[in-house]
Amino acid sequence: MANTTSLVSDFLSFLNVSFSRHRSGGAIIFTGIITMSGTSSGSLWLAANPSKRWGELFFLFYTPFWLTLSLGIVVPYKLYETFTELEYLLLALVSALPAFLIPMLLVGKADRSLPWKDRYWVKASANLWIIIFSYVGNYFWTHYFFQVLGASYTFPSWKMNNVPHTTFFMTHACFLFYHVASNITLRRLRHSIAGLPDSLRWSFEAAWILALSYFIAYLETVAIANFPYYEFVDRSAMYKVGCLFYAIYFIVSFPMFFRMGEKPSDEWDLSRVAVDALGAAMLVTIILDLWRLFLGPIVPLPEGQNCLQSGLPWFSR
């Protein structure tokens, strides 16, 4: 609780919003500016890079909006029972699009002097890296959930490659939160163990990434358990083993995502961000397919499906 209070205090002390009014043609336009005081966070949780610090704080404190909407309103009140394809898609858009739109209107002080392409929220968090990684995760890896974990989507939806459009946008919002939370905790851990030998520091970091990855995978699975249209053949097996399979996503992505913009002197242009995200996605794909071939499914598959056949799962459906 004390750590959470400290983090909130950091956010409130660095963040304030002001609105300026100017006239354009015959209309009065209000422009929001989010400013941060100081040039260094002075916090063991927050990034030294001002643009990254602002981006992480914004996405962290934006998360309760879409979480409350989805898990606090739609699911417990079973509003989804009346949803059609359109309502599901609109829910996902309302959850994901503010991550793009709000930073365009409420500009961080650290970002005002930066071109769009150099702002952390554009190249690392909201746009390029998470878009690429979550797109690959939905388009390709969802089929591993179908064939290895026995998952299925049964809600009405428009689909691409047999994956609901809704999940592409919801995954973006989820992954954004997961990776920012990972950044903040991993940064705090690194400060705590900075004086240890390299081998011990590596061991502590690896253990933390493994634990956090499994925890997030498990937490997500439990959180959506009350939504009846995302089904598993054996939910108990999913909790015990399937979450480890899902955690592979984050075991790879958390340390790779953390590197972006962490050192102010280390430049990350858009091409480097894209290559990094694609590299992370390829590594996850390789590991998932090795699991499919050598460990196989965690549940019995329906007749006619063969998880161990050659080729890739999205080619065989």
pTM of the model: 0.85
Interatomic CA distance for residues 73 and 93, integer angstroms:
16
pLDDT in tens, 98-127: 999 999 888 888 899 899 888 999 976 557
pLDDT in tens, 128-148: 899 999 999 999 999 999 999
Interatomic CA distance for residues 244 and 149, integer angstroms:
11
- Among 249, 243, 248, 250, residue whose Cα is nearest residue 220: 243
DSSP three-state, residue 69: helix
Contacts for 156 with CB less than 8 Å, ≥ 6 apart: 83, 84, 85, 88
pLDDT in tens, 49-82: 999 999 999 999 999 999 999 999 999 999 999 9
